[in-house]
Amino acid sequence: MSLDKKIKKSQSEWMKGKGPMGDVVISTRLRLARNLADFPFPGRAEPGDLKEVRNRVEKVLEKLNYGLKILDLKEIPQLERKTLVERHLMSMNHAEDGPEKVLAVDEFEMISIMINEEDHMRIQVLFPGMQLEDGLRLINEIDDAIEEELVIAFNEKFGYLTSCPTNVGTGLRASVMVHLPGLKLAGRLGQTLQLISRLGMVVRGMYGEGSESQGDIFQISNQVTLGASEGETVENMVGIISKVVEQERQARQYLLKNREDEIRDQVQRAYGLLSHAYRMNTEEALGLLSDLKLGIELDLIKEVEPSILSQLMVLIRPAMLQRIMGQELESGLRDVKRAELIRKKLSGGESHVR
């Protein structure tokens, strides 16, 4: 298979398009934590229980009309599992060896369901851009279909019961990935992030808890799962994210108006380095991709597709890179192959600034 084809095959649907508010919002993710009523939670369950949970859930999933493919993680090599994490289809935790772990995923990689992670089920939907409401509709639809077939652990007072108390209630975690280079360059990032926190949201890096922010990309998600309905949670987030998007857009226009030469130089240099460097580590690549994407959104760079950041921020990850290149690579060689992949992606269009 050619490199081009391998790259294409490695892209989830959400990376390719630009969704609503796609100038700032990269993707929207929602997940529900659910457990079967008649079995102990995975942390305390016997292998026999987990097997039974798995069988029951798989049977239900097969009946659903989402074209879910069921992957027994035991049969999937470690490197391949890591690519699933890098594509945000499952958690790092789920990639570790453990009994009866399963991932169900549709061909567009829009829906993914983990079986026997921290909870019996973690149902996830993933969309490009800002699509919290559509996301909630879809995930509710999936949840309803599952609950028609299985008895779910639910308490009238607390709501859905989960392994970790932070998920009890709705079991919903909604996350929006935003790209905030304008606020950073304008020196206003700190104050925006503080505001978000004060409004009850959590701000993290690209890969959730414990991951650092790279490439000016932040994941904003709800803190609270108790005391508010799914609808209220999402509605609240829509308001906050819209505000963040507005601030980022204002910062970009401010930069364009007051520091145009500097910004133009920075984004064009990023483009030049990305399209020419012979080796590059992930951190540098993400920083430059962030600049490039800013240039695209400000219309300073016209010949690169806006989804370049969504695509490459995943494709250049160590496991994805090795999968695309079809070989295991030690770290030094990875930097060379990463740069090659980026050059390849960027040479698709006419890539010159004149």
User: Which residue ranges make up the site for a copy of itself (CB under 8 A)?
Assistant: 261, 264-265, 268-269, 271-279, 332, 336, 339, 343-344, 347, 351-354
Nearest to a copy of itself of 42, 181 (CB atom): 181
**Measured in whole angstroms, how far is the alpha carbon of residue 243 from the centre of its chain?**
21
- State in angstroms the smallest separation of the CB of 343 from a copy of itself: 6
- State in angstroms the smallest separation of the CB of 2 from a copy of itself: 14
Q: Which run of H or of E encompasses 221?
A: strand 217-222
Residue 300: how many CB atoms within 10 A of its CB? 19
Nearest to a copy of itself of 198, 352 (CB atom): 352
- State in angstroms the smallest separation of the CB of 295 from a copy of itself: 10
- State in angstroms the smallest separation of the CB of 303 from a copy of itself: 12
- 3-state SS assignment for residue 231: helix
Nearest to a copy of itself of 137, 302 (CB atom): 302
Q: Are 87 and 109 in contact (CB under 8 A)?
A: yes
- 3-state SS assignment for residue 83: helix
Determine if residue 64 is left, alpha or beta; phi over 0 gives left, psi from -120 to 50 gives alpha, anything else beta.
Answer: beta
Nearest to a copy of itself of 171, 182 (CB atom): 182
Q: Which run of H or of E encompasses 202?
A: strand 201-204
Nearest to a copy of itself of 109, 340 (CB atom): 340
- State in angstroms the smallest separation of the CB of 345 from a copy of itself: 11
Residue 274 CA to residue 288 CA, distance in Å, equals 7
Nearest to a copy of itself of 188, 279 (CB atom): 279
Nearest to a copy of itself of 56, 345 (CB atom): 345
Residue 313 CA to residue 1 CA, distance in Å, equals 22
Residue 271 CA to residue 220 CA, distance in Å, equals 28
- State in angstroms the smallest separation of the CB of 346 from a copy of itself: 9
Residue 182 CA to residue 263 CA, distance in Å, equals 10
- State in angstroms the smallest separation of the CB of 54 from a copy of itself: 47
Runs of H (alpha helix) within the chain: 3-9, 13-16, 47-63, 78-86, 92-95, 132-149, 181-185, 189-198, 230-258, 260-274, 282-297, 308-315, 318-325, 331-346
What amino acid is encoded at 308 in this protein?
A: I
